Amino acid sequence: MTEWLERHVPKMVLAPSFVAVLIFVYGFIIWTGWVSLTRSKLMPKYEIKGVIQYERLFASPRWDTAMDNLFIFGGLFIGISLILGLFLAILLDQKIRAEGVLRTIYLYPMALSMIVTGTAWKWIMNPGLGIEATVRNWGFESFTFNWITDPKMAIYAVVIAAVWQASGFVMALFLAGLRSVDEEIIKAAQVDGIPTWRIYSAIIIPSMAPIFLSAFIVLAHLAIKSFDLVIALTGGGPGYATDLPATYMYAMAFSRGDIGQAASSAMVMMGVVFTIVVPYLYSELRAKHD
């Protein structure tokens, strides 16, 4: 008996967590997927009616805006964060004495809640009292910076705040990558008289391809899940101008009482995440095995 117990104790210890994951991740995904195929409104119904919710979703102009915004926001946020992060990492890699302090300054936004970030930037970009007013006070009377209240530009205001928050993290990733490049190769290149910018562009940066990939995955994941920042910065407005899939889903679930729409939009979000993450995760686990 004790021997049996001894042999099975590891499994029994792991079991509660595994069951929890089975129910609260996989079971819940199935539940949401199921409900997305029904006509649920205020209360969930379990009678499958086909893909009507998805038809409604893709016919909805608000969802259209949300998906467009996701691609604009995601593309710019990921692109700018990657470029800025790499640039900062290279600057910091030049044997700077104050590196520790600067790194701390560049990275601290990542420790903040996106609600805090949104609150701060909402105030800074406030047209009446923020940057716009300040620059006008300096004598540039016609200066305008009202992105946050301009339906066409508001999504770019979200990009600014998001880049501010996450670019330091990309910097930290790249800096770690730069430090792990083989010193000998760099020294050999220097001895050969190859200029520094060529060493970076031809040797160091190509060797960091895996880091580009991880940074991309993390940023893409952040972008798709972005919810707090939009809520705090623009509340999805003006109108629906800065709606993202996450805010659409939340509005349907908790203020519109349209569970069918909430479920189908959540499933589409998951589809987007998985097309990005699953190949990556697969290759990660593969690589660990070999």
Partner 1 sequence: MTDFTQSYTAPRRSFGQLALRWLLFTLLGLFALFYLMPLFVMVTTSLKSLEEIRTGSLVALPRDVTFEAWSTAWSGTCTGVKCEGLRPYFWNSVLMTVPAVFLATLLGAVNGYVIAQWRFKGANLIFAMMLFGCFIPFQVVLLPMARSLGILGLAGSIPGLIFVHVIYGIGFTTLFFRNYYVTIPAELTKAAKVDGAGFFRIFWSIFLPLSLPIVVVTVIWQFTNIWNDFLFGVSFSQAGTQPVTVALNNIVNSTTGVKEYNVDMAAAIIAALPTLLVYVVAGKYFIRGLTAGSVKG
- Which residues in 255-284 contact partner 1 (CB under 8 A)? 259, 262-263, 265-267, 269-270, 273-274, 277, 281, 284
CB atoms within 10 A of CB 92: 20
As measured in angstroms, the least distance from the Cβ of 22 to partner 1 is 8
**Residue of 48, 129, 185, 188 interacting with partner 1 (CB under 8 A):** 129
**Residue of 74, 85, 168, 236 interacting with partner 1 (CB under 8 A):** 168
Question: What residues from 8 to 47 belong to the interface with partner 1 (CB under 8 A)?
Answer: 9-11, 13-14, 16-18, 20-22, 24-29, 31-32, 35, 44
**Residue of 39, 52, 79, 110 interacting with partner 1 (CB under 8 A):** 110
Question: What residues from 134 to 163 belong to the interface with partner 1 (CB under 8 A)?
Answer: 134, 137
Measuring CA to CA, which residue among 31, 49, 43, 69 is closest to residue 267? Answer: 31
CB atoms within 10 A of CB 99: 14
Stretch binding partner 1 (CB under 8 A), from 73-81, 87-95, 146-154, 181-189: 87-95
Longest Cα–Cα distance in the chain: 86
Cα dihedral 20, 21, 25, 27 sign: negative
Determine if 51 is a binding residue for partner 1 (CB under 8 A).
no
CA distance 221 to 199: 32
Measuring CA to CA, which residue among 55, 43, 58, 39 is closest to residue 260? Answer: 39
Stretch binding partner 1 (CB under 8 A), from 68-76, 123-131, 149-157, 184-192: 123-131
Tokens of 130: 């923020």
CB 41 within 8 A of CB 260: yes
Q: Which is nearer to partner 1, 48 or 281 (CB)?
A: 281
CB atoms within 10 A of CB 210: 12
**Residue of 60, 72, 79, 120 interacting with partner 1 (CB under 8 A):** 120
As measured in angstroms, the least distance from the Cβ of 116 to partner 1 is 4
